[in-house]
Amino acid sequence: MQYRKLGKTGFNVSEISLGTWQVGGKWGDPFSHDTADAILNSAVDAGINFIDTADVYGDGESEKAVGRLVRSRSERVYVATKCGRQLQPHTNEAYQPAALRQFVENSLRNMQLDTLDLIQLHCPPTEVFYRPEIFELFDRLKEEGKILNLGVSVEKVEEGLKALTFPNVTTIQLIFNMFRQRPAELLFQEAKRHDVGLIVRVPLASGLLTGKFSPQTTFSPDDHRQFNRDGAAFDKGETFSGVDYETGLAAVEELKQIFPDQPNLAPLALRWVLMFEEVSCVIPGASRTEQLHSNLQAAELPAFTPEQMQAVKSVYEQHIKPLVHYSW
């Protein structure tokens, strides 16, 4: 495992880390703490030292599992969680310092920890990024010893750029993958200039970039890849990176031709993300330990050649860019 600096947090984190959106099992299934414990401990055994969760994952069960892991291991494991998505309705007006403070304290109780290494605003409405009083709250929480660092999770490049204007923002979590390349144009260089760490989520475009899906693949009614393709429940960009499913399948077939000797595209998709030095870590999820081990294969792959990088870019520009590039 290789480690990279997470911006001005000063943390050295595993470049392949773990997101816990579905750590308790596959979409639509009840949360399994046995499954979560197996995945989380396997991750730490493999050298992963950064775990990303949120208070809404598994209705708090993911946080409980992550906290249990941290308390049970001797290794230093950095914990990032998020707050804000519990607000109903999830609007700019609902974002108030008192509510966010309560969410932070609830997360501390959930995980039975004294301090959060990193708390992130969880994809708030764009207007929130223009409200200094929201960001000032986290200076108070840091003074109280409840958090060490503030980060933001964003949907749009615009939001990330605005977040960089707040000095206490130490990390930005964003979607970046072979089907979502716009952040590399400006946001990456600005984050580097501000010494802000970049945490990459949805690196496999909700599984599309594993190369294992087909037109015949079915998803359960409770799976966001079924019910959120048009953004009915949350931002459309979180599902297949906003790419039309059939279009994505066609692009994946071309990617397979670039790497004919690799039956599993997932490690390649993760290795591609890590080709960008501005990225601090990538946080693919896993609902089974087998998926975790598949993701870890990315650490063993050689760097892409310039020709391979250009070939991936060409697939993006031909199939994906005209449809989604300027949406996020």
53-99 residue pLDDT tens: 999 999 999 999 999 999 999 999 999 999 999 999 999 999 999 99
- Specify the pLDDT at position 262: 84
The CATH fold assigned to 3-206+262-303 is: TIM Barrel (3.20.20)
The pLDDT value given to residue 179: 96
Pairing of strands 12-14, 118-122: unpaired
* Domain residue ranges of the chain, discontinuous segments joined by +: 3-206+262-303
List all residues 6 or more positions away from 50 whose beta carbon is below 8 Å from its beta carbon.
6, 11, 13, 14, 17, 18, 77, 78, 80, 281, 283
H helices then E strands: how many in the chain?
Answer: 12, 10
pLDDT at 159: 98
Would you give per-residue pLDDT tens digits along the chain (328 residues)? Answer: 999 999 999 999 999 999 998 888 776 678 899 999 999 999 999 999 999 999 999 999 999 999 999 999 999 999 999 999 999 999 999 999 999 999 999 999 999 999 999 999 999 999 999 999 999 999 999 999 999 999 999 999 999 999 999 999 999 999 999 999 999 999 999 999 999 999 999 999 998 999 898 888 988 888 888 888 888 888 888 899 999 999 999 999 999 999 998 888 999 999 999 999 999 999 999 999 999 999 999 999 999 999 999 999 999 999 999 999 999 9
> What whole-number distance in Å separates Cα of residue 259 and Cα of residue 220?
30
The neighbouring-strand residues paired with 211 are none
Q: What is the pLDDT of residue 152?
A: 98
Q: d(Cα 244, Cα 247) in Å, to the nearest integer?
A: 5
The pair of structure tokens assigned to 23 is: 């750590």
Please give the structure tokens belonging to residue 113: 């920890």
Q: What is the pLDDT of residues 122-165, one digit of tens each?
A: 999 999 999 999 999 999 999 999 999 999 999 999 999 999 99
CB within 8 Å of 148: residues ≥ 6 apart: 9, 115, 116, 117, 118, 142
Q: Packing angle between helix 132-143 and helix 97-111, nearest 10 degrees?
A: 40
pTM of model > 0.85: yes
Indicate the SS3 state at residue 196: coil
264: phi then psi, degrees, rounded to nearest 5 = -110, 115
The widest CA-to-CA distance across the chain, in whole angstroms, is: 54
Q: What is the pLDDT of residue 30?
A: 85
**pLDDT score for 28:** 67
Residue-level pLDDT at 223: 84
SS3 label, residue 27:
coil
